[in-house]
Amino acid sequence: MMIDRRLVQEVDWVLLGLVLLHSLIGVFFIYSSSNFLAGGYHVRQLVWIGASLIVLLLVLAVDYKFFVSLSVYFYGLTVALLAATLVFARFVAGTKSWITLGLLQFQPSEMAKIVMILVFARLFAEYKSAYLTTQHTLFALLLSGAPLILIILQPDLGTAMTFLAIIGGAFILAGLKRKAILLFLLAALVLGIGVWSVGLKDYQKKRVTTLVNPLHDPRGSGYQVIQSKIAIGAGGLSGKGFMKGSQSQLRFLPARHTDFIFSVIGEEVGFLGVLAVIVLYFFMLARMFLSVSKARDRAGVYIIFTASLLLAFQFLVNILMIIGLFPVVGITLPLISYGGSSLLTSYIACGLVLNVKMRRFANV
């Protein structure tokens, strides 16, 4: 595969810069919240950023059409891996989501997110009418339902919700009739009640009830939200200073460098820091979403949209979750939270957006 010079010029360097900027902000606060732990998390994160950047560049090198055309095989492979995970993986923190291949550990559910982006692009690329027919809806549901159920079974509530968001987004884009929306809502309600009473583990139920009243269970799942709110609230306008937050430095805050990293930001650099990160993130998301106008075809629009939605949804849920406006479902702050799997997924998603954007004139 040869990379055209014109293509390199078309890369959205601003977007790539924003992605790297967020990653670096993440590294700083990972350092602040974990430097007293053994393990050198900030260094590991830097290595992951490097590796993810390489993968992103590789993604750019290949025309997204090629990925879309392979999506059927990716899909088959992913479903197989998800099924294998359920069978072979050992429980880690109550879920079976990690699979070990030699020295590498990874989460097939992360890979599934990317694959679904491509699958939807492929599925809806040829679909040109304004609204989805029942037949198409059912087929798409069937296609996305298989990996979704496998993820729910792990059980990984956070990933399942992200997954649902992508599916929902794709359907919205393809055009849902009012009747279908009502039907979906009804089905979701029935499914929700069913899952609540049968499928959810106690700890998951607790997370939802904790949302209503965190003090209900201050030592258990409520603890995280209470400590997180204390950290953020104590930060005030300008924060306690980098590496000076008592909630994070004295370890009152759980999952400081992963799910709750934004609480560290809130505590140490205050509302001003929170505002800065949210505005920066908004600019990045805007630049991603609004690239749909640059996509040369329907598949490109779907890729840009679902990939952007992937980041936007996780970002939104995470910043709501840590202040107790959403159940604690284990959704990380994309690009900023520590963690290779999540970082790699985010970079690939951004890579796909850049890929579509830079190839808008590919055929000319």
Partner 1 sequence: MPEENIYEDLSLVRRRANTVFWVISGLIFLALSYYWKIQIVDHKKFSDLAEANRTRQRALAAPRGLISDRNGEVLADNRASFKVSLIRENIKDLEASLVAVGRLLEIDVETLRRRIGQYKDLQQFEPIVIKDGLSSVDVAPIESRRLEFPELVVDAEPQRFYPNGALAAHVLGYLQERTPEEIRAEPDRAAPAGEMVGKTGIERQYDDILRGEDGKVIEVVDSLGRVRSETERQNPVQGGKVVLTLDNRLQALAEESLQGREGVVVALDPRSGEILALASFPTFDPNRFITRFTPDEWTQLINDPLAPLENRSIRGLYAPGSIFKVVMGLGGLGFRYVTPGTTVYCSGSTEIYGAVRHCWFAPGHGSMDLADAIKNSCNIYFYTLGRRMGIDMIALAAGRMGLGKKTDVDLAGEKEGLVPSSEWKTRTLKTPWYPGETISIAIGQGQLQVTPLQIAALTALVANRGTRIRPQLFKSASAGAKARPAAADGAGAAAPAEPPFAPATFESVITGMWRSVNDGGTGNGAFVEGMDVCGKTGSTQVVSRESAERLSRAGREIKTHSWFSGFAPRDNPRIVVTVLVEYGGGGGATAAPVAGRIFKLFFGSPKEVQGR
Residues that bind partner 1 (CB under 8 A): 65, 128, 130, 169, 172-175, 227, 229-237, 246-247, 250-253, 266, 270-271, 274-275, 278, 281-282, 285-286, 289-290, 292-293, 295-298, 301-302, 304-305, 308-309, 312-313, 315-316, 319-320, 323, 325, 363-364
Closer of 20 and 316 to partner 1 (Cβ): 316
Closer of 305 and 347 to partner 1 (Cβ): 305
Q: How far is the CB of 199 from partner 1 (least distance, A)?
A: 27
- 49 and 23 in contact (C-beta within 8 Å)? yes
Closer of 79 and 168 to partner 1 (Cβ): 168
Query: HSE of 29 in the Cβ direction (CA atoms, 13 Å)?
Result: 31
Q: How far is the CB of 83 from partner 1 (least distance, A)?
A: 31
Closer of 96 and 136 to partner 1 (Cβ): 136
Q: Per-residue b/e over 309-338, b at no fewer than 16 CB within 10 Å? A: bbbbbbbebbbebbebebbbbbbbbbbbbb
CA angle (60 as vertex; 56, 66 as ends), nearest 5: 120
Closer of 172 and 191 to partner 1 (Cβ): 172
CA–CA distance, 103 with 81 (Å, rounded to integer) = 17
* Listed residue (302, 272, 295, 304) closest to 358, CA to CA: 295
Q: How far is CA 17 from the centre of its chain?
A: 19
Q: How far is the CB of 233 from partner 1 (least distance, A)?
A: 2
Q: How far is the CB of 206 from partner 1 (least distance, A)?
A: 20
Closer of 79 and 320 to partner 1 (Cβ): 320
- Please name the residues in contact with 202: beta carbons below 8 A apart, sequence gap of 6 or more: none
CA–CA distance, 290 with 284 (Å, rounded to integer) = 10
Q: How far is the CB of 87 from partner 1 (least distance, A)?
A: 35
Q: How far is the CB of 330 from partner 1 (least distance, A)?
A: 18
Closer of 204 and 314 to partner 1 (Cβ): 314
Q: How far is the CB of 117 from partner 1 (least distance, A)?
A: 13
CA–CA distance, 153 with 268 (Å, rounded to integer) = 38
In the chain, the amino acid numbered 11 is V
Q: How far is the CB of 214 from partner 1 (least distance, A)?
A: 12
Q: How far is the CB of 149 from partner 1 (least distance, A)?
A: 25
Alpha helices by DSSP H, the chain? 5-10, 13-34, 41-61, 64-88, 108-125, 134-153, 157-174, 178-194, 202-212, 221-235, 246-249, 261-289, 298-321, 340-358
CA–CA distance, 242 with 352 (Å, rounded to integer) = 34
Query: HSE of 341 in the Cβ direction (CA atoms, 13 Å)?
Result: 18
Closer of 150 and 264 to partner 1 (Cβ): 264
Closer of 28 and 289 to partner 1 (Cβ): 289
> What H or E segment, with its residue span, contains residue 364?
none
